[in-house]
Amino acid sequence: MSRIYTVKNKLVESRLFLHRIIAAFIVILLLSSGLIVRLVYLQIVGHEHYTTLAKDNSIKIEPLVPTRGIIYDRHGKVLADNTQSFSLELIPEQIIDLDDTLLRLQKLLDISDEKIDQFQKQRKRQKRFVSTPLLISMNDEEIAKFAVVRPYFPGVDIQARWVRHYPYTELASHVIGYVGRINEAEMKTLPIAEYRGSSHVGKIGIENSYESELHGKTGYAEIETNVQGRAINAVNSVPPVPGENLYLTLDIDLQKTAYDALDTFNGAVVAIDIKTGGVLVFASRPGFDPNPFVVGISNDAYQALQSSDNQPLFNRALRGLYPPGSTLKPFIALAGLEYNAINAEHKTFCPGYYQLPNVSHHYRDWKRGGHGSVNMTDAITQSCDVYFYSLALTLGIDRMHDFLQDFGFGEKSGIDLSGEKQGLMPSREWKRNRRNQAWYPGETLITGIGQGFLQITPIQLARATATLANKGKVITPFLVKKSASPDSTAPDIATQEDLGFKPENINSIISAMVNVIHDPHGTAKSIGKDINYQIAGKTGTAQVFNIKQDAKYNENDIDFKLRDHALFISFAPADNPKIAVAVIIENGGHGGSVAAPIAGKVIKQFLGTNNEN
């Protein structure tokens, strides 16, 4: 076997070795340069940034949630406070079999599937070592049941927390509102820093409108943690600033009187302090218990509220839209006097109906046989429709629109609650733009008695009544006082707009409204007894549906929901008004017999039977 020998070339090998050494040196030089550049960046350029990151890895900022402010009525009675509640909470990290634990707890404490689902959603948004509530506001029986078996549920315990509580339940539910869990949409709009750690936010009413004041300012604690993120030691803290306590102008005892007086009827009562504009009563019936919304109302219970024919979640005082009916007549009469369309002694003959020239249609009066010859005082006292049909035609829709708008009809009242409806004060322009139709004379007639397209809210009607009682100085209603103390006064009243009515004209209207209660022919004479002062008022009945020309209205023959609404406006004492009240009762029938007594109860409780002016 022959062998092959390779002759080595030492010169070539030396050159090859040298090239490799140079290449390696260049690579090492480049890598070293990069490392040096990176070290310079980390040590000098990025020092502050990475020092902060390093600190954040060991120091966690934990939010400290402020205590929510308490809400009081004008006398210092608590309307919304915070009570200590006990909740069943789980730390998933400490539980070996979470599903089994949940199943056993569900059987032990009769926990609904809905609450289990809520727990699962919440704990997935948190770290496994964070305590997550399963059952909030446990009762004594639930606490006792769990206490007996506590050793068999590692990672499960009872924790004390503050929970919002509403002691008057449905009585003030629409005006106070309630708080509920923050949803995803709200989380996008709320300031992140202020709501870190917060789980609830005001949903409606005062709780919503004054959320920023009630919530307070969130504090924080710097917590030293280990690499797993668990707390080791508290390093520093800034305490939270509690939410402001709010004192309302609302009188909860007066509110109860109004709410109870509504009895089985759906409706609203609003009373305003004429001197300040502070709202004394803001009742909407039916109401609802806001407390279940705080801890998480069940789907079945919420659907029952939503589907109820009585609409207990609907704030009638703020959002209910109704025709004002004959409560509009004092304002129309004042317009007639101010525009010199009539004088107080001008008489109109009422045969029981009114006809437009060359038109056969009869616009009926509520009194079938008519009122005979009546002047303005008679027309208001007896609520003569024919008088106001004639006056409305004389004024015309344009002048009526402008005059009534000055009183706030068709406009928001400006009350410090969100969600208020505007109502509707119709005009030629509105109808042309909205319906592409001309305005007809017949529509002017029915607007003059508060029917047709005209729609108002109870708070709007109360504001207009207070402005009338204040002799043309515009009232802006409000609920929250300026200073959060029981002895605080109402806010400084801004310069009130004066509508500039002639004193003799406004006095004539007030005198006629006094007759409604204190004249033998008045439509609300039943409430003027047993007092040493006079009440000025006006009854109203608003049709829910149109009656055919020759048909006779009999409320006993029609469905309850189709019966007329009953309304009443009033203020007292007539010569030095302190309180204005508006009452609207859905399908109540007659303002004088149903709505007026409610206002009478409110006024008499507020002023007493022997008011000293």
Residues acting as catalytic residues: 326
Cα separation, 600 vs 588, whole angstroms: 16
Kindly report whether the peptide bond that precedes residue 92 is cis, defined as omega within 30 degrees of 0: no
Expressed in percent and rounded to 5, the helix, strand and coil fractions of the chain are 40, 20, 40
Question: Dihedral angle at the C-alpha atoms of 176, 262, 285, 298, nearest 10 degrees?
Answer: 100
Indicate the length of the chain as a whole number.
Answer: 613
Contact 93, 130 (CB under 8 A): no
Dig out the tokens for 257 from the structure: 């009187």
Q: What are phi and psi of 154, to 5 degrees?
A: -65, 140
With beta carbons less than 8 A apart as the criterion, state whether 71 and 209 touch.
no
The 10 Å CB-count burial string (b at 16+, else e) for 116-125 is bebbeeebee
Cα-Cα-Cα-Cα dihedral of 27, 29, 35, 40, to 10°? Answer: -150
> H or E segment at 98?
helix 98-109
Cα–Cα distances in angstroms (integers) from residue 440 to residues 389, 396, 422, 428, 436, in the given order: 14, 10, 24, 9, 13
- Closest to 606 in 3D by CA, of 563, 574, 573: 573
Per-residue burial over 442-480, b = 16 or more CB atoms within 10 Å of its CB, e = otherwise: ebbbbbbbbbbbbbbbbbbbbbbbbbbbbbbbbbbbbbb
Which 3 state secondary structure label does DSSP give 538? strand
Q: How many Å apart are CA 26 and CA 14, to the nearest integer? A: 18
Report strand pairing: 267-273 vs 579-585: antiparallel
Compute the distance between CA of residue 465 and CA of residue 475 in angstroms, rounded to an integer: 9
- Pick the closest to residue 116 from 98, 130, 131 (CA basis): 98
Q: What are the DSSP calls for 448-482, one per residue?
A: TTT-TT-BB-HHHHHHHHHHHHTTTBPP--B-B-S
